[in-house]
Amino acid sequence: MVTNGVGRYFKNIKDAVATIFEGMTVTFSHLVRKPYTIQYPDRVPVRIQDTLPFRYRGILEVDLEICTGCLACERACPIDCIVIDAPKDQKTKEMLLTRFDIDIAKCMYCGLCSEVCPTGSIHHTTEFEGADFSLESMIRRFVKAPVVAYKAKKEGETDPVVAPILERGMRYIQEFAEPADMKKIKAEQKSAAA
C-alpha cells in the first residue's frame, strides 16, 4: 500500500493512465458489437406485429360471422366504448346486428370484453399502430349492412367459412381464460395444498 504523498502522486498518474487505457479498450470493443437498436418501423426484418404473442392486447376486432349479439362485451366494457344495436327482425324473429361500433380512442385495452365473449368474436389483434388524423376516424364500425347474429348449433359448426373463424375464436378465449402455464400453476397450487 502506498500511503505517503509522493508515492500516491505517482500512483495516481499510473492509475489514471492504466484505467483510461482499459476504458478505451472497452469502448473500442463496442465498436464491433452489433447495436441493439430496432429500427422501427421501416428497417425491421419482420413486422413487429408478427412477432407479438397470440394474446397481445392490441386494437380490438370483431368477427361478425360468429357474433351472437349477446351484448356481454358492451356490458363488460368499463368505459362504454362499445356500442351495439341488436334489434329482433319482426318477420323472421331472428336477431339482427345493425350496429357494432368500437371507439378505439376510448378503449383502454383492458381485455374485459374479449374475456366474456362466448365465441371469441370480439378479440384483440396484434395491431397497435392506431394513429389517425381525427377522433371520428378512430371509431371502428364493423357492421356495414345488418347481419343475422350467430346461433350456436348442437351438432357443431359445419359451414366451411364460419368453422375456422369459430375454431380460432374458441382457441382465443381458451387461451385468454386459462393460458397453458396457468394450468400448471393451478395444479402445483393444488398439490401444495394437498
Partner 1 sequence: MQQFIDRLIANGAFAGMPVEVVYALMMLLFGVLVVFGFFLPIAGVTSWLERRVWARMQSRVGPNRVGPQGFLQWLADGIKLLLKEDIVPDAADRPLFLFAPYFVVWGIVATFVVIPFSSSLIIADMNVGILYLTAVTALVVVGVLMAGWASNNKWSLIGGIRSAAQIISYEIPAGLALLPVVLLTGTLSTQGIIEAQGWAPWHWFAFNNPFTFVAAFMFYVAALAEGNRTPFDIPEAESELVAGFCTEYSGFRYLLFFMAEWGNLYVIGAVATLLFFGGWQVPAWTSNIVLLNLSQFVVFFVKSYLWVIISMWVRATLPRVRVDQLMILCWKYLVPIGFVNLIGTAIWMVVWPQGNRIVQYGMVILAAAVLVQFFRRVRFHLRRARPELYYSPAI
- Interface positions with partner 1 (CB under 8 A): 9, 12-13, 20-37, 39
Residue with Cβ nearer partner 1 (35 or 78):
35
Residue 190 C-beta: closest distance to partner 1, Å? 42
Residue 150 C-beta: closest distance to partner 1, Å? 48
Which three cell numbers, joined as nine digits, stand for 75? 356490458
Residue 7 C-beta: closest distance to partner 1, Å? 15
Residue with Cβ nearer partner 1 (39 or 158):
39
Which residue is it, cell 368500437?
Answer: 102
| Contact (Cβ atoms closer than 8 angstroms) between residue 173 and residue 111 | no
DSSP three-state, residue 121: coil
Residue with Cβ nearer partner 1 (11 or 153):
11
Residue with Cβ nearer partner 1 (16 or 152):
16
Which residue from 109, 53, 56, 54 is spatially nearest to 81, judged by alpha carbons?
A: 109
Residue 45 C-beta: closest distance to partner 1, Å? 13
3-state secondary structure 105-146: CCCCCCCHHHHHCCCCCEEECCCCCCCCCCCHHHEEECCCCC
Which residue is it, cell 500500500?
Answer: 1
CA angle (61, 143, 175) in 5-degree steps: 25
